[in-house]
Amino acid sequence: MRFFWALLGLSVPVVLLYTQFLDNPLVFDDAGFFHSEEFSVYLHRLFSFNLRWLPLATFVWTRQVFGDAIIWLRLGNLLFPLLTTATLFFFLRRLFELVMPPQVDNKTLSAFWLAFFAALIFALHPVSVYAVAYLVQRTTLMATLFTLLTWRLFLEGLIREHRLWLYASAFTYFLAVMSKEHALMAPAVTVALLLLVSSQPLQRTKLVSSTFVLYALIGAFAVFQRQSEHILGQAYEPIASELISRMGADFDVRFIYPLSILTQSFTFFKYLWVWIVPSPALMSVDSCQTFALHFWSWPEALGLVGFVIYPYIAIRLLLQRGLKGLFGFALLCPWLLFFTELATVRIQEIFVLYRSYLWMVGLFASLPFVCQKLTAKQAIITLSCVAILMMPLTWFRLTTFSHPLLLWDDAARRIHDDNNSCPVMDRILNNRGRHLMELGRYPEAIDDLTRSLKVIKWQQKPMVSALADNYYNRGFAYLKTQQFQLALNDFNTIVGTIPKEWSAFYFYKAQAFEGLHELTAARQLYEQACLNGVSEGCEKQKELESTIK
C-alpha cells in the first residue's frame, strides 16, 4: 500500500501542473513535423529499424485511434514522464537499499523516501518542461524511460545473478537507442553500477560479459545508422556553412571539430548548473551560446580543464563505495551520457535544454549523500520545500509554451546585446517579429525584424533565405502601417524564385504600389498574383483596369 501512495504522490503534482496546459499550441519544430510528409511515413509501418521510429510512430497511432485533437498528443507526452518518474523511483529505491549503510537508530531518512523525493524533484524540475511540452521530444522522454529500465534490470540481474534480467536490460537498451540515439552511452553507466554494488566486480565478468556483447552490438548498430548520415565529427546542421561564414576571416575551419568539443565541454557545466540551480535566466526554447573560436577562448578553455578533471574526481568517489560511492555514481552519470554531444559539431543549437533530461536523470542518486547529516524530519522539510519551489518555476516555463509569442519573447529577453556572437539571435528575433505581426503589433515587429536583419548583414556570406524571409515579413509589416515606400523597398530586395508559401508576395507588392498611386505597376502585379491563385488579386486587377480606363 505504501508503494501505491508513493506513486500517487509522484503523479498528482505533475498531473496538476501539466494538465493546465494540454491545449498549448504546436510550437517551433512541432508544427513542421506534424504538417510534413514525414509524419505520414509512419502511418503504414508496423515496425522499422530507423532510429527514433518508435516514439514518432506513437504520434501517428494516437491520431489514428483518438483523432487529431492536440490534447491526445499532449496526454501521451504526459504519460511518458509519469512512467519515467515511477521507474526512477523504483531504480533509486533498489540502489539506495543496496548502497546505503543499514539504519540502526532510524534518525536519517529511509532509502524509500529518499528515492521518492529524488524522483519527485526530477519530475517537477522546470528543465523537464522542455522535454515534455515540446511534443517531438517524445524521443527524449522514451529514451530516458528505457535507459532507466536498462539500469534497473541490469541491477536486478547483478543482485540475483540471473542472466535473464541482464538480457532484458539489453532489450530495453535497444528500445532506448531506437527512441533516441543520445542514449548510446547508457551501458557505460551499468559499468559504474557494477563497481558501486559489487565488492569484487571482476568476479562478475563471466555473468555480465554476454550482456555487454549485446550492448556493444546494439550501440554499433546505432553508430552505423548515424554514420551513414555523415554527421559524426562534422557540422550537420542545415545552415552550418552559413553560420561558419560569420566566424571571421581568421577562423580555421579545419579545427572546427576540436573547437566544438571545447565549446561543449563548457556547456556541460552550464547544463549541470541549471539542474542544480534552476535559474529562469538560463532557460529558454532557443539559447544564445557562443561557439569557441580559439583553443584559448574563455571560459570554454576552463570548461575543458574541468571536463577532464571531473570524471577523475567522480571515479575516485565511486570506488570508495557507500555514500561517497553513490555520490560519485551520481556525478559520473551525466558525464558519461553527455559524451554523445562530443560526437558531432554543434554550431547553431549549442545549448539545448531538452537534451539534458536524459543525461541528468542519474544526478538525483546524490540525494542520500547530500542529506546524510540531516535527520529524517529535517530532510523531509527541506526536500518538500525544494519540491514546492519547483512548481511555480515549472508553471512559468509551461506558460511560455502557451502561445508562440510568449515562447519567443522569453528567448528574446535573454539577448543582452545585438552583437554577432549569438548564432540563433536572428532566428529568435525573426520568430518573435512574425508572431507580433500575427497579433497586429506591427511597430514592435518592425523593430525585431530590423534587428534581425542587422545581425544577418554582419555575416560575411549572409543566408539568402533568412534575408528574404526577414525582408518579406518586414515589408508586410510596413505595408500594414501604410509605410508603402519602405514596404516596396523591402519587397524589391527579394530576388529569385518566390517560394510557394509566399503566394501572396505579388499581391502585397501590388498593394505597396497602389498605396504610392502607381496604378499601372500595381495592376500588373495583381495580375501576377491572380495567376498564382490569389483570388483577391483577380478582383483587384479588374478593379484597377476599370479605374485606369
pLDDT higher than threshold 60 for residue 387: yes
Per-residue pLDDT reduced to its tens digit, 268-282: 999 999 999 998 888
Is the residue at 359 inside a domain? yes
- pLDDT value, residue 270: 94
Count CA within 13 A, CB hemisphere, residue 320. 14
H or E segment and range at residue 543? helix 535-548
Q: CA quadruple 171, 172, 178, 181: dihedral positive or negative?
A: negative
Q: CA quadruple 160, 162, 164, 166: dihedral positive or negative?
A: positive
Per-residue pLDDT reduced to its tens digit, 333-343: 999 999 998 88
Same domain, yes or no: 382 and 511: no
Within a 10 A sphere around the Cβ of 409, how many other Cβ atoms?
18
pLDDT higher than threshold 90 for residue 34: no
65-84 average pLDDT score: 91
Q: Which of 373, 400, 427 is the last residue of a domain?
A: 400
Is the residue at 447 inside a domain? no
Q: Which of 400, 428, 451 is the last residue of a domain?
A: 400
Residue 460's pLDDT band (boundaries 50, 70, 90)?
Answer: very low
Is the residue at 428 inside a domain? no
Is the residue at 439 inside a domain? no
Is the residue at 470 inside a domain? no
Give the predicted TM-score (pTM) of the model: 0.90
User: Count of domains in the chain?
Assistant: 2
- pLDDT value, residue 549: 58
Same domain, yes or no: 86 and 220: yes
- pLDDT value, residue 26: 85
C-alpha cell at 176: 532506448
Which are the contacts of 139, defined by CB distance < 8 A and separation ≥ 6?
52, 55, 56, 179, 180
- pLDDT value, residue 401: 92
Is the residue at 103 inside a domain? yes
474-498 average pLDDT score: 86
- pLDDT value, residue 522: 82
200-209 average pLDDT score: 84
Task: Provide the percentage of residues in the chain whose pLDDT is more than 90.
Answer: 48
Is the residue at 92 inside a domain? yes
- pLDDT value, residue 462: 44
For residue 517, the enclosing domain spans 497-549
Q: Is 345 helix (H, G, I), strand (E, B) or coil?
A: strand
Residue type, 298: W
How many residues does the structure list for the chain?
Answer: 549
140-169 average pLDDT score: 95
Backbone angles phi, psi at 48, to 5 degrees: -155, 150
Q: Which of 342, 377, 400 is the last residue of a domain?
A: 400
Is the residue at 547 inside a domain? yes
Same domain, yes or no: 356 and 504: no
Same domain, yes or no: 392 and 525: no
